[in-house]
């Protein structure tokens, strides 16, 4: 004689979602016996039920949660026949699909359908297969609810107590109910009504259970309740009706308490005030404003007393109103951790005590959290380009460059630059900050000084300047490749001159159209300039003959650099120069520009007509 229950369940989560797959197995069995009026033990009764399912659970949204999957159940019962040495055997196997869905917070739907194979052995051995369908719906809101179910087939019962009579079940059940409290919980009203009708048995039943419980004083209660029941069943020859009701009246005393709902009196109210601390004294003055749109998460870390309803987990998140106030009502005494998270830009106001506050709550209290007004770190990103850049490369956007200021406490404050490269970082004063930017301009630029140190005392501090300069660019000359003279080299094409009229200048010699073409095309002769006394020249070379000077100028022409040729009266020397200036400073500045693009060697010469040339650089 005994009862054995075995239950196991496994769950597998899918990726990082809230969906999962579950597998469940339940095995229940019971063997027991009854004793007759004479005290003799009757034959043993054996019951066994096994149930298993595999379900997919979807919890993607709170408004619609559901699960669905197949299930199987096997039931066996063996009961002795009174006064006979025989037993009644009932076996049934159920195969079905199950669905259950929750729509919002108020509606639930449950559907099951499948097939059942049963065997019943008493006088005769009967076997049959029947389809089944079951529906259950429940809706509740504000203390009122309605439950409706419809069952067709042998699946109305689960567990150890199933009967062959239920194999042909065809019934509907309607159950409205109400659970309400009035006068702050002093009066509790409940009403449960159930109407069931079985079409297969022509049997109907109505049951009504009202109950009112009223608190009087010092844990004394007055309770009034009752039950009304009405049943009707139709047989072939007659109808059977019966009804009964009873009324219950009681006075109840609950022990272990000194007063009504004492646990509620141990709860407290915490009011949190967030404000702009303009003067930094940590107190809220009359002219200081509250801070709205700040999220506060309150979590209990240690309760001061044991609650009669078990531990009271507190994890509440609220948002401050327009006045910067957050109120937590009816929370137990104890120690709390408050996490402060601003969800809007507070600009120059900062919460300095990290992100957590430790609060001890013993009585109703107001807790003030100051947000200190910060100082400003103003600065500029200054970008310097090379003199000779393309027009498309000349403009670089200086907006949205991240600037971060951090101190030795590990706190960091960031902002982004404007279009002109200016920025403003709000940070608490009286700290030494390291200001840093990231090189977002590429490998051709470098930051002269990064991690600039700044002592922030007040808002009148000098601006921080980040200087970014462009690296010198190199000119890569393409090497000439020799002419391909192999067998696959393209052959020269001959030009055939067709007969016709050719118009030439009248002042020149006529051209023979049948002659071999002359590719030595004349060009404009070079212009030789007279060197000016007292001027500063950037000289690329002093050459003794005209041919070498001409070759040097062709090289500069191929590099895209303009050059000129100069000479002195009664002299065979030629000067190839790139520019002429009135002052040495202007010439030296231009010379530096040529050196950055690696055009060298170049020198600066001041020309004197009577004396020797002065070489300055």
Written as six digits, the tokens of 264 are 């509620």
Q: Is the pLDDT of residue 225 over 90?
A: yes
Selected residue with higher pLDDT from 611 and 588: 588
Q: Distance between terminal CA atoms of the chain? A: 117
Does the pLDDT at position 414 exceed 90? no
Q: Which residues pair with 484 in a beta bridge?
A: none
What torsion do the CA atoms of 558, 563, 568, 571 make, to the nearest 10 degrees? Answer: -10
**Span 436-455, pLDDT tens digits:** 998 888 888 888 888 888 88
> SS3 for 361?
strand
- Alpha-carbon span 321 to 343, nearest angstrom: 13
Specify whether the backbone of 105 is left (phi greater than 0), alpha (psi in -120 to 50) or beta: alpha
CA distances from 546 to 15, 137, 567 (A): 83, 109, 10
Q: Which one is predicted more confidently, 583 or 522?
A: 583
CA-to-CA dists, residue 277 to 283, 285, 348, 352, 508, angstroms: 7, 8, 11, 11, 97
pLDDT at 223: 94
Per-residue pLDDT, averaged over 92-109, amounts to 92
Distance in angstroms (rounded) separating the CA atoms of residues 270 and 289: 20
Alpha-carbon span 153 to 134, nearest angstrom = 8
3-class secondary structure, 549: helix
pLDDT digits (tens, 9 = 90+) for 267-290: 889 999 999 888 777 788 888 889
Pairing of strands 528-530, 564-567: parallel
pLDDT per position as a tens digit, 177-186:
999 999 888 8
Instruction: Give all domains of the chain, ordered by start, each with its CATH number.
Output: 2-169 (no CATH), 374-386+397-470 (2.60.40.10), 529-607 (3.30.70.1070)
Q: What is the pLDDT of residue 531?
A: 82
Residue 308's pLDDT is 47
> Which of 152-161, 359-368, 513-522 comes out lowest in average pLDDT?
513-522
Q: Does 501 or 366 have the greater pLDDT score?
A: 366
3-class DSSP state for residue 335?
strand
Report the pLDDT value the prediction gives residue 600, as an integer from 0 to 100. 67
* 8 Å CB contact between 110 and 100: yes
Q: How does the average pLDDT of the chain come out, rounded?
A: 82
pLDDT above 50 for 317: yes
List all residues 6 or more positions away from 119 whose beta carbon is below 8 Å from its beta carbon. 89, 90, 91, 92, 125, 126, 127
pLDDT tens by residue, 226-246: 999 999 998 888 889 999 998
Contacts 24+ apart (CB under 8 A), 149-153: 149/173, 153/116
Q: Which of 126, 135, 195 is nearest to 165 (CA)?
A: 126
Q: In this predicted model, what pLDDT tens digit does every residue of 340-399 receive, in sequence order?
A: 888 887 777 877 665 678 888 888 999 999 988 778 888 999 888 876 666 555 578 888
Q: Does the pTM of the predicted model rise above 0.85?
A: no
168-182, 190-204, 345-359, 526-540, range with the lowest pLDDT: 345-359
pLDDT reading at 521 higher than 70? no
**In this structure, what token pair is assigned to residue 265?**
């009196």
Cα(418)–Cα(58) distance, rounded to whole angstroms?
Answer: 47
- pLDDT of residue 67 exceeding 60, the answer is yes
């Amino acid at each position: 004689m005994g009862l054995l229950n075995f239950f196991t369940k496994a769950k597998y989560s899918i990726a990082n979602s809230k969906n999962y797959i579950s597998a469940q197995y339940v095995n229940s069995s019971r063997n027991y016996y009854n004793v007759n009026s004479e005290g003799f033990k009757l034959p043993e009764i054996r019951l066994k039920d096994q149930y298993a399912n595999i379900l997919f659970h979807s919890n993607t949204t709170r408004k619609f949660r559901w699960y669905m999957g197949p299930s199987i159940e096997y039931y066996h019962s063996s009961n002795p026949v009174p006064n006979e040495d025989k037993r009644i055997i009932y076996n049934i196997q159920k195969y079905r699909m199950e669905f259950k869905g929750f729509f919002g917070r108020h509606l639930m739907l449950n559907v099951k359908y499948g097939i059942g194979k049963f065997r019943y052995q008493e006088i005769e051995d009967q076997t049959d297969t029947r389809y089944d369908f079951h529906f259950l719906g429940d809706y509740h809101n504000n203390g009122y609810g309605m439950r409706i179910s419809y069952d067709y087939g042998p699946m109305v019962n689960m567990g150890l107590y199933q009967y062959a009579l239920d194999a042909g079940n065809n019934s509907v059940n309607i159950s409205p109910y109400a659970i309400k409290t009035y006068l702050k919980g002093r009066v509790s009203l409940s009403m449960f009504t159930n109407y069931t009708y079985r079409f297969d048995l022509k049997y109907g039943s109505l049951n009504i259970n009202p109950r009112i419980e009223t608190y009087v004083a010092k844990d004394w209660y007055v309770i009034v309740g009752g039950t009304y029941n009405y049943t009707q069943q139709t047989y072939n020859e007659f109808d059977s009706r019966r009804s009964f009701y009873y009324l219950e009246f009681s006075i109840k005393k609950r022990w272990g308490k000194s007063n009504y709902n004492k646990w509620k009196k141990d709860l407290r109210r915490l009011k949190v005030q967030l404000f702009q601390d303009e003067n930094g004294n940590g107190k809220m003055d009359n002219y200081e404003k509250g801070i709205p749109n700040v999220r506060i998460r309150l979590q209990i870390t240690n309760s001061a007393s044991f609650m009669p309803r078990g531990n009271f987990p507190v994890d509440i998140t609220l948002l401050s109103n327009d006045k910067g106030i957050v109120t937590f009502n009816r929370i137990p005494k104890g120690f709390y951790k408050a996490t402060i998270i601003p969800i809007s830009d507070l600009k120059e106001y900062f919460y300095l005590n990290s992100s957590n506050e430790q609060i001890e709550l013993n009585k109703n209290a107001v807790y003030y959290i100051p947000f200190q007004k910060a100082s400003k770190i103003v600065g500029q990103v200054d970008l310097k380009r090379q003199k000779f850049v393309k027009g498309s490369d000349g403009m670089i956007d200086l907006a949205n460059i991240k600037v971060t200021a951090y101190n030795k406490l590990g706190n960091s404050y960031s902002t982004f630059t404007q279009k002109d490269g200016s920025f403003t970082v709000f940070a608490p004063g009286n700290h030494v900050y390291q200001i840093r930017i990231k090189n977002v301009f590429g490998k051709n630029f470098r930051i002269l000084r990064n991690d600039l140190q700044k002592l922030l005392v007040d808002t009148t501090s000098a601006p921080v300047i980040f200087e970014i300069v462009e690296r010198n660019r190199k000119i890569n000359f393409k090497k000439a490749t020799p002419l391909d003279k192999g067998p696959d080299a393209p052959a020269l094409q001959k030009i055939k001159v067709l007969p016709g009229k050719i118009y030439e200048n009248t002042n020149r010699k006529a051209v023979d159209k049948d002659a071999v073409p002359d590719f030595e095309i004349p060009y404009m002769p070079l212009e030789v300039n007279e060197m000016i006394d007292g001027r500063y020249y950037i000289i690329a070379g002093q050459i003794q003959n005209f041919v070498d000077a001409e070759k040097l100028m062709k090289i500069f022409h191929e590099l895209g650099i303009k050059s000129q040729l100069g000479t002195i009266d009664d002299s065979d020397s030629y000067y190839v120069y790139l520019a002429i200036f009135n002052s040495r400073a202007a010439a030296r500045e231009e010379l530096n520009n040529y050196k950055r693009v690696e055009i060298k060697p170049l020198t600066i010469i001041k020309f004197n007509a009577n004396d020797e040339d002065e070489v300055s650089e």
